[in-house]
Chain A
């Protein structure tokens, strides 16, 4: 019989499991005559009979194991542990192998200072990391994940919050996250709030439960802040996407209306006008009728001109049909002041981007005519580095303001919905409108 009156294999299995639970390795010697335990920090402890009484089913709480546990939990006590274990080992055990055991024990005692120092350094590092983390968290870190990743020395670390209103896990930026199937990579964080959060980490961190526990405890303090941040960002993303959808749907609807006008009322009016023209040609002999027909044609022409303006206001057909360069050239020609135009865009880009760029130029040039008292303007459109930059500069007296001008505000909405940005500079020397639009 061995220690605890257990068959050697069972004791071995039990000790193995226990050691693993505490992040270490247990090695039993022949017939479980002695147990060598290696703690996560590399410190080694050897236990010899007589082992204290112990219920193998429960967590060990008796002197050698409690001490081992203390070694795991509080590395500073390692020295004491060793001394006490030494006391157990030396002189009490009697038997044929005693001299060997004694030598090993003494050797272990000799090594103790090294293990002690190594344990101290490791513990110190871990404590420093935790300390830094706590300080960072107190200072309300902008990025909880980075702080946690640094403390755990796991750059791949992810922090995921359960967002009940989206029914999904999300990272601190509010982007959806899928939890790994490997449960060893997932550690829950118990915060004050009712909704869970988890750390997704390297499975190896399971071997440093103390570090993981401390980091999780520290993270729990600021969990709610992080969750609110994630929620906010997810909501912002959702809003941005919905704004983009709203603008796109509006654009599609306007495009459809323009098409309906073109194929319907406009075509019919042209055909009617043509018939009247033909009729007029056949009635040259009757000047009164001819004059009336001429008047009717004139009215149709006015209606057509009005419809054209409506159609153009609904959607610039020339843009979707012929692209930015042609559409902007036409805009520049219609502008109230001469415009120096330069367009460097490679072929066609996404509809929404083209439309936004077009409206930036259109609205800016309209403002030039309305308010700026400018004598000329410059329009530059450049595609580079995954974005289209639109710049409209005039030499007027300034005064454009995106908060007050509803046109500019609408433009900003349109540009921002695409993830771009619109800026307006205005001074007595003129106004500069710059839009940056992402284009894939």
Chain B
């Protein structure tokens, strides 16, 4: 699996590259800024790019802009955005109208190596990886007419894992239950929230985020 990295901190860039290489990824480009990444993509289009949201020269939106451009120009390439902070507004901007092949994670997540590699593979394969803090913040809001009220505790757990982009298998592994059980929870959640069933695992990410936003 070919991967390109754009990260201006040398320490982190090289750490990531080594981590990925050790896990048998083919690191085709290591870039210090967004322009370098764009040039690299002209030579070779990888399966997934990992982009720091804050890149030179202004350290403002260069990384996000590059991510959006790549999503537009290379729909087959997964885009995983890393950031020191995750913001719901940025997640919505990055996702646009589809969560397919897109990830948005706190940089801290790289230290949980197996989890992180799982997220990279998922995004490369067209799935999604949304930082769990985004969903947990939305879910923890106090409200009188809580639309999540009818959900059981287990269903809430499944909802959060689902919104983070986990597959049914992934949810089953984390909760140590069967995939069949996960499927039952998912369909019950969609019923209770009156959401139309989506089928696709990345489409349900967006559906849940949009539902929680209101």
A binding-site residues for B, Cβ under 8 Å: 259, 262-263, 266-268, 270-271, 273-278, 280-281, 297, 300-301, 304, 308, 311-312, 317-318, 320-322, 325-330, 332-338, 369, 375-376
User: Smallest Cβ distance from A347 to chain B, in angstroms?
Assistant: 13
Q: Which of B11, B134, B143 is the one whose CB lies under 8 Å from A375?
A: B143
Q: How far is the CA of A278 from the CA of B92 in the complex (A)?
A: 31
A residues within 8 A CB of B213? Answer: 333
User: Smallest Cβ distance from A289 to chain B, in angstroms?
Assistant: 15
A-B contact pairs, 19 of them (CB 8 A): A266-B84, A271-B9, A274-B19, A277-B19, A278-B18, A280-B113, A297-B112, A300-B108, A304-B108, A312-B85, A317-B54, A318-B85, A322-B60, A329-B92, A333-B89, A337-B142, A337-B143, A375-B142, A375-B144
Q: Which of A262, A271, A325, A333 is the one whose CB lies under 8 Å from B15?
A: A271
Q: Quick check: is B40 within 8 A (CB to CB) of the other chain?
A: no
Can you list, as one digit per residue, whether each of B104-123 has a CB less than 8 Å from chain A (1) or not (0)?
00011011111010000000
Q: How far is the CA of A300 from the CA of B108 in the complex (A)?
A: 9
Q: How far is the CA of A376 from the CA of B141 in the complex (A)?
A: 10
Contact A329:B113 (CB < 8 A) given known A267-B12, A274-B12, A304-B108: no
| Residues A267 and B11 in contact, CB atoms below 8 Å apart | yes
B residues within 8 A CB of A325? Answer: 89
A residues within 8 A CB of B113? Answer: 277-278, 280-281
Q: How far is the CA of A300 from the CA of B87 in the complex (A)?
A: 21
Q: Which of A268, A311, A317, A337 is the one whose CB lies under 8 Å from B11?
A: A268
Q: Which of A300, A330, A335 is the one whose CB lies under 8 Å from B141?
A: A335
Q: How far is the CA of A276 from the CA of B111 in the complex (A)?
A: 7
B residues within 8 A CB of A259? Answer: 59
Q: How far is the CA of A11 from the CA of B117 in the complex (A)?
A: 109
A residues within 8 A CB of B112? Answer: 277, 297
Q: Quick check: is B208 within 8 A (CB to CB) of the other chain?
A: no
Q: Which of A271, A275, A330 is the one whose CB lies under 8 Å from B90?
A: A330
Contact A271:B22 (CB < 8 A) given known A322-B61, A328-B89, A337-B143: no
Q: How many pairs of A and B residues are in contact by the CB < 8 Å rule?
A: 119
Q: How far is the CA of A312 from the CA of B106 in the complex (A)?
A: 14
| Residues B18 and A270 in contact, CB atoms below 8 Å apart | no
A residues within 8 A CB of B15? Answer: 271, 274-275, 278
A residues within 8 A CB of B116? Answer: 277
User: Smallest Cβ distance from A258 to chain B, in angstroms?
Assistant: 10
Interface secondary structure of A, over-half rule: helix
Known: A281-B113, A330-B88. 17 other contacts (CB 8 A): A263-B9, A267-B9, A267-B84, A270-B111, A274-B111, A281-B22, A297-B112, A300-B111, A301-B111, A321-B59, A322-B87, A322-B90, A327-B89, A330-B89, A330-B90, A336-B141, A369-B142
Interface secondary structure of B, over-half rule: helix
| Residues A333 and B111 in contact, CB atoms below 8 Å apart | no
| Residues A273 and B111 in contact, CB atoms below 8 Å apart | yes
Q: Which of A322, A333, A338 is the one whose CB lies under 8 Å from B64?
A: A322
Q: How far is the CA of A336 from the CA of B141 in the complex (A)?
A: 5
B binding-site residues for A, Cβ under 8 Å: 9, 11-12, 15-16, 18-19, 22, 54, 59-61, 64, 84-85, 87-90, 92-93, 107-108, 110-114, 116, 134, 137-138, 141-145, 213-214
| Residues B12 and A334 in contact, CB atoms below 8 Å apart | no
User: Smallest Cβ distance from A42 to chain B, in angstroms?
Assistant: 72
Q: Which of A281, A321, A337 is the one whose CB lies under 8 Å from B54?
A: A321
User: Smallest Cβ distance from B105 to chain A, in angstroms?
Assistant: 12
CB closest chain-B residue, reference A341: B213
Q: How far is the CA of A312 from the CA of B85 in the complex (A)?
A: 9
Q: How far is the CA of A118 from the CA of B89 in the complex (A)?
A: 78
Q: How far is the CA of A338 from the CA of B90 in the complex (A)?
A: 18
A residues within 8 A CB of B144? Answer: 375-376
User: Smallest Cβ distance from B125 to chain A, in angstroms?
Assistant: 22
User: Smallest Cβ distance from B136 to chain A, in angstroms?
Assistant: 11
Q: How far is the CA of A335 from the CA of B212 in the complex (A)?
A: 13
User: Smallest Cβ distance from B154 to chain A, in angstroms?
Assistant: 24
Q: Which of B9, B107, B138 is the one whose CB lies under 8 Å from A333?
A: B138
A residues within 8 A CB of B107? Answer: 266, 270
Q: Which of A262, A301, A320, A333 is the one whose CB lies under 8 Å from B88?
A: A333
User: Smallest Cβ distance from A313 to chain B, in angstroms?
Assistant: 12
A residues within 8 A CB of B89? Answer: 318, 322, 325-330, 333
Contact A270:B60 (CB < 8 A) given known A326-B90, A336-B142: no
User: Smallest Cβ distance from B102 to chain A, in angstroms?
Assistant: 16
User: Smallest Cβ distance from B163 to chain A, in angstroms?
Assistant: 13
B residues within 8 A CB of A297? Answer: 111-112
Most A C-beta atoms less than 10 A away, residue of B60, B64, B89, B107? B89
Q: How far is the CA of A98 from the CA of B134 in the complex (A)?
A: 111
Q: How far is the CA of A279 from the CA of B136 in the complex (A)?
A: 29
Contact A318:B84 (CB < 8 A) given known A275-B15, A337-B141: no
Q: How far is the CA of A328 from the CA of B90 in the complex (A)?
A: 10
User: Smallest Cβ distance from A92 to chain B, in angstroms?
Assistant: 95
User: Smallest Cβ distance from A302 to chain B, in angstroms?
Assistant: 10
